[in-house]
Amino acid sequence: MTKPIFQLKDVVKTVNQDTPEELNILDHVNLDINEGDFITILGSNGAGKSTLFNTIGGNLRPTSGHVIYKGKDITNMSVVKRTSFLSRVFQDPKLGTAPRMTVAENLLLAEKRGNHHHLIPRNLKSQMSKYKKITAKMNNYLDERLDTATGNLSGGQRQALSFLMATIKRPGILLLDEHTAALDPKTSQQLMDITDSTIKQEKLTCLMITHHLDDALKYGNRLLVLHQGKISYDISGEEKDKLTKEQLLTFFNDIQ
């Protein structure tokens, strides 16, 4: 049996401890993530989705429980150290890129993610043809703006760049935090198509938070529903493929 690449073991995240407002935002969560899983995650506001990602990413340390990567306990590992194997794209296009650096400079920086930084020549010019080819696949003219400061890009171009930066150096695990939610429908669909094809071609391990039921059903091999800090639904494979939107809506109504 294949050993999970990433695990949450009995993870609890409590806020307002020892007060009348004490609450478990994550409530004894156990989750095994296998290599190559593309997991879509649904949940109402306050269900614990962002807390789950912040715990996986190292932004939050659990009150109790353990976070395991490739058999190693990384519960207390910093965000910076986790960048050697983990990358993340946020909902806000302004996050994840350096606004005063050009598109090419941002890509070069992303390629060095998790490495020790030394005072060596950037050799940026030698990378330009490669970056032009990489950005051209986004089909949004990003390849014509390699020398443009990222802060001057459109929201869609900036989010496309964020996705490229997160995947240019193959991550052990990729977190997509509603990464298309701030975009218009056409741009959102373009990025989602690129996301799906990249994950399949590179066989990436990915978790994607979405508020679109259709996207949760269409993409990925596995679907989770979070409710009140617990994983209340975990479906995969053929069972997920046969799941209908009506069945999913019924489940949501039942747990409410």
pLDDT digits (tens, 9 = 90+) for 71-94: 999 999 999 999 999 999 999 988
What is the rounded CA–CA span in Å between residue 138 and residue 109? 19
| Residue 243 covered by a domain | yes
Domain span at residue 7 reads 1-75+174-179+211-256
| Residue 37 covered by a domain | yes
pLDDT digits (tens, 9 = 90+) for 138-147: 999 999 999 9
CATH number for 1: 3.40.50.300
Number of domain units in the chain: 1
Q: Where are the alpha helices (DSSP H) in the chain?
A: 49-57, 79-82, 103-111, 128-136, 155-167, 185-202, 213-218, 237-242, 245-255
Quote the percentage of the chain above a pLDDT of 90: 82
| Residue 39 covered by a domain | yes
Of the pLDDT bands very low, low, confident and very high (cuts 50, 70, 90), residue 115 is low
| Residue 190 covered by a domain | no
Quote the percentage of the chain above a pLDDT of 70: 96
- In terms of pLDDT, which residue wins out, 2 or 8? 8
pTM of the model: 0.93
| Residue 247 covered by a domain | yes
What is the rounded CA–CA span in Å between residue 36 and residue 92? 26
pLDDT digits (tens, 9 = 90+) for 166-196: 999 999 999 999 999 999 999 999 999 999 9
